[in-house]
Amino acid sequence: MRGASAPSRGAGRDHQVPARAARDAPEVPEAAVSCADEDAVDAVISWFAHAGRDLPWRHEGVSAWAILVSEVMLQQTPVVRVLPRWQEWMELWPTPADLADAPAAEVLRRWDRLGYPRRALRLQECARAIVREHGGEVPRGEEALRALPGIGEYTAAAVTAFAHHGRAVVVDTNIRRVLARSRTGHALPDRSYSAAERGLAARSLPTERLRSVAWNQAVMELGALVCTARSPRCADCPLAAGGCAWFAAGRPAPVEDTRRRQAFEGTDRQMRGQIMALLRRGGSVSDEQLLDLDREDVPRVHRCSASLVADGLAVREGGSLRLP
């Protein structure tokens, strides 16, 4: 199914919302008075209808739980890496109750190399809260969603829009970039998500609920596929003809960011990932095996091992670490 629904890091379904879902979706108060450019909204939604990717969490009939899982997995992780893991998780744990009862060690193994493995345990905590407090059904409404473990502003809004077809201000890095270029003429958004950006996103959201869902889906996909950070394909953009201030201004270069960025090589995050890889393969790892990861910086190995234990990702057992 083409144009099925969301972004490179989002979930959702086809923007033609089923009648039953439309009836069941909660009414969400407008976050701000909409000043959406209706021609631009039409152009982006029409583009998405034929250009949107066919991803399984966008298919008709996918559960709200499956969409929530996809949203958590897609945080800071490309679709190509998420897709096989999501499919495997949905086969193993198709409901919150299934994941709630799973051994934590198996959850971490199946998370594989998605990165930030603490997300896997938080997702299991979320599943247990859904079972305990909501009868095993993903709750409706952003407030109820944000009360779940590990669910923040973006995920609550995305699940509200893409799973429950409610009006919500969904903003990820892709949407931020499209709005920065099309509405303000800036090449890139600021590094930090500001109140001004939040207000712009709210004002850009169409007033009508189902139209707002379609816009969220489409504009996020536009940022993922066309209005990319490094190589935007303006010739393929539905906004280039008159809906993009940045393109109209001649695509001015971004303001140079002089802040230094830490390289991944040699970081604690890299070491933690190496330790987790060993644990996933064997279930446990001896201290000697851990030291083999970096004999020249033993304190770093100890520090990273201890941090995994503190995060609940590993358990210290004598002279070894094991999965919880």
Catalytic machinery residues: 71
Q: How far apart are CA 95 and CA 235, in angstroms?
A: 43
Query: Residue 281: CB partners within 8 Å, gap ≥ 6?
Result: none
CB-count burial class (<10 Å; 0-12, 13-18, 19+) for 55? buried
Evaluate whether 161 touches 168 at the Cβ level (below 8 Å): yes
Evaluate whether 136 touches 22 at the Cβ level (below 8 Å): no
Secondary structure of the chain as H, E, C letters: CCCCCCCCCCCCCCCCCCHHHHHHCCCCCCCCCCCCCHHHHHHHHHHHHHHCCCCHHHCCCCCHHHHHHHHHHCCCCCHHHHHHHHHHHHHHCCCHHHHHCCCHHHHHHHHCCCCCCHHHHHHHHHHHHHHHHHCCCCCCCHHHHHCCCCCCHHHHHHHHHHCCCCCCCCCCHHHHHHHHHHHHCCCCCCCCCCHHHHHHHHHHCCCCHHHHHHHHHHHHHHHHHCCCCCCCCHHHCCCCCCCCHHHHCCCCCCCCCCCCCCCCCCCHHHHHHHHHHHHHHHCEEEHHHHHCCCCCCHHHHHHHHHHHHHCCCCEEECCEEECC
Task: Enumerate the β-bridge partners of residue 286.
Answer: 320
Output phi, psi for 78, to 5 deg: -65, 150
